[in-house]
Amino acid sequence: MAFETITVEVEDHVALITLNRPDAMNALNDQLLGELVTALEDAQANDKVRCIVLTGSEKAFAAGADIKMMSEKSFVEVFAGDLFGPEPDAIMRIRKPIIAAVSGYALGGGCELAMMCDFIIASETAKFGQPEINLGVIAGMGGTQRLTRLIGKSKAMDMNLTGRFMDAEEADRSGLVSRVVPVKKLREEAMAAASKIAEKSMISVMAVKESVNRSYEMPLREGLLFERRVFQSLFATEDQKEGMSAFMEKREAQFRDK
């Protein structure tokens, strides 16, 4: 399918999805979010794709939801039309790992989109923020929820109440991102991480994603039980036999996702 607001390239089992509304700092409108969901669902259905990288431009991952699109909307339109309701749900249903590669601004819905991904690799120029307070609203796609779980109440309150931006160094220190790399290396690092994941058994990869995500939704005791049962069930796979045999035979494992 031809997209207008994103580009998609599949390379070495990795789908690289790039947000592409350069005149609007990749602001998220209905079309962009719709195309993004389609591209992610295509990647989920494509057996050649084993990991996904979501990125923007050097200047902006995404500067938030499109303020120009939203400004004149009424409560009834936003509520009855469930503005930006279905898309986050669809993104959360993707079972393959998604890495956000963030350079420049990741603000409002842009920061929230990055947090919907499984982990964030940031460039040194990345700036995260939930500045919706400056627009007379609040975050609506996880900025008061996911951000609080990731960086704690004090910093999440600070970000959401003052609308200040957090630079890459602070985001790294706060646990919002997994690593920070030079801006010119961002895409390469994210693709390398995705390729590394693509070498693993997809069964284990999807099991990790489900298990880590459970830790946000279950009490610890239930989460630990879920993890243990998933761990035990992986002994029913050929990939477990292959992985452990390869270790003992001092060779690389050849996983077959079985």
56 binds ligand DAK (CB under 6 A): no
Kindly state whether residue 19 participates in binding ligand DAK, applying the rule CB under 6 A: no
- In the complex, minimum distance from the CB of residue 35 to ligand DAK, in angstroms, rounded to a whole number: 17
Q: Is 65 among the residues known to form the active site?
A: yes
Characterize 38-72 residue by residue with b for buried, 16 or more Cβ atoms within 10 angstroms of its Cβ, and e for exposed: ebbeebeeeeebbbbbbbbbeebbbbbbbeeebee
- Residue of 27, 52, 166, 191 that binds ligand DAK (CB under 6 A): 27
Residue 97 near ligand DAK by CB under 6 A: no
63 binds ligand DAK per the rule CB under 6 A? yes
Binding status of residue 140 toward ligand DAK by CB under 6 A:
yes
User: 97 or 104: whose CB is closer to ligand DAK?
Assistant: 104
Site map (CB under 6 A) of ligand DAK, residues 158-177, x = contact = --------------------
Is residue 92 at the binding interface for ligand DAK, with CB under 6 A as the rule? no
Of these residues, 56, 108, 109, 143, which one is catalytic? 109
* Interaction of residue 141 with ligand DAK, rule CB under 6 A: yes
Question: Catalytic residue at 243?
Answer: no
132 is catalytic: yes
Q: Shortest gap between Cβ of 164 and ligand DAK (angstroms)?
A: 12
Identify whether 199 is a catalytic site residue. no
Residues labelled as active-site residues: 65, 109, 112, 132
Footprint of ligand DAK (CB under 6 A): 24-25, 27, 63-68, 78, 83-85, 105, 107-109, 131-132, 135, 140-141
